[in-house]
Structure 1
Amino acid sequence: MENLNPKEVLEFIGLVNNLKHSSRRGWEQCNVDNHEQIAGHMYGMAMMTFLLGNNSTLDRFKCLQLALVHDLAECIVGDITPRDNVPEDKKHAMEDEAMKKITSCLGSEVGSLIYNLYKEYEAKETDEAKFVKDLDRFDMVFSAAFYEKRDKTPGKLQEYFTSTEGKFQDPYIRNLVKLLEDERKHLKSINKNNAHLNEVQDN
């Protein structure tokens, strides 16, 4: 393995460290208090790669790597959301340029490894990249359901569920999404019944 320049390694670590303190702006735009940071989202996805059973044909380690680098560019460009109205091609160009800057700190061997993983995820052509994209979407809707339940605001974050409807490919992840949706419907029903009872009591 090639020797890495210590100053450039510190620069890389400093950039990555930004993700621990950078907001997932979608929640911010929806006025969700005490929401996750970008690094928290990536950690959640990385942990979910352990959902792959021993019989899976997917490369679990590759999935873990993809999960850890998929939003790495956001340590420079930030979390660009659909509400920002940034054209998709411009967003990809900004993120690609950011990834080149980030990986240039790590020499040709490690830098190329991380950059190629990022490009693999972006292309969504390998089975591992498709699975990790499912994890990306699932972590988002799971967080949305968590915030609705925590803040007692059933249905507030429906847009996240609507935007991912029909897009999950992995059968196991689809089952998790269904369970999540069923729980949301149950909680909304309870909330509606409680609201009705309160209204009757007030009258």
Structure 2
Amino acid sequence: MAPDRREAFLGFLALADRLKHTLRAAHTGDRRENSAEHAWHVALMAVTLAEEVSPRPDLGHVLSMIAIHDVVEIEAGDTFAFDDAGLLTQLERERAAAERLFGLLPAEVGRRLRDSWEEFEAQETPEARFAMGCDRLQGFLQQVECGAPAWKRIGLTKTRSLVRMQPAIDLGAPFAPMIEALYERAIGQGLLVP
């Protein structure tokens, strides 16, 4: 491996480690979850649920998307799903971060990761939709499990949350029944306004 290629990989991978310090709105125990923990949990969901989907997605491709889907948050920050002001600039911030971060890698590798990130964002392939379903399910489950302080703070209603969750519900099994069960728990525990 040429020294400049080696240094590009090492630099990107060292920088990617900062995802462990990008905090999310959800809590885990007595602290906020970070984006690296989120990505691991989304990957675990994909591995666990892949055989529940028909046709079965290409799991390697799904895991590649999941591994990089939030890397842009190192620079763009995590945008809470119900932060209306943050959502207005999210795409612009994330695209700029993608350009810079993936640009650190050798061109063909950076392009491959950028393409994977864009595929996840576009939601046009079965693998991207499955990865999105796992991503949405993880965020929803994490909020229910942690007592949803972020939801309570804004008085989140089921109707408003459905705007975010409906694309995952529309995928059908296994997402729809699991999300519906989580809605029942959330309403029963007073985590969402009915």
* Inter-partner Cα distance in structure 1 for 2:157 and 2:72: 22
Shift of residue 23 of structure 1? 0.5
Q: TM-score, normalised by structure 1?
A: 0.75
* Inter-partner Cα distance in structure 1 for 2:99 and 2:8: 13
* Inter-partner Cα distance in structure 1 for 2:103 and 2:2: 13
Shift of residue 119 of structure 1? 0.8
Shift of residue 179 of structure 1? 2.1
Q: Is the 8 A contact 2:26 2:142 kept in 1?
A: no
* Inter-partner Cα distance in structure 1 for 2:37 and 2:73: 13
CA separation of 1:101 and 1:165: change in aligned 2, threshold 3 A: closer
When the two chains are superposed, the root-mean-square deviation of aligned CA atoms in Å is 2.9
Match of 1:196 in 2: none
* Inter-partner Cα distance in structure 1 for 2:2 and 2:179: 43
Match of 1:170 in 2: 171
Q: Is the 8 A contact 1:2 1:109 kept in 2?
A: no
Partner amino acid, structure 1, of 2:20: K
Which structure: greater strand fraction?
2
Q: Is the 8 A contact 2:26 2:146 kept in 1?
A: no
* Inter-partner Cα distance in structure 2 for 1:4 and 1:49: 35
* Inter-partner Cα distance in structure 2 for 1:15 and 1:141: 28
Shift of residue 80 of structure 1? 2.5
Partner amino acid, structure 2, of 1:52: A
User: Which residue of the other structure, out of 34, 38, 46, is the alignment partner of 2:31?
Assistant: 34
Residue identity (%): 23
Bigger Rg over Cα: 1
* Inter-partner Cα distance in structure 1 for 2:112 and 2:123: 17
User: Which residue of the other structure, out of 44, 52, 56, is the alignment partner of 2:41?
Assistant: 44
* Inter-partner Cα distance in structure 1 for 2:105 and 2:122: 23
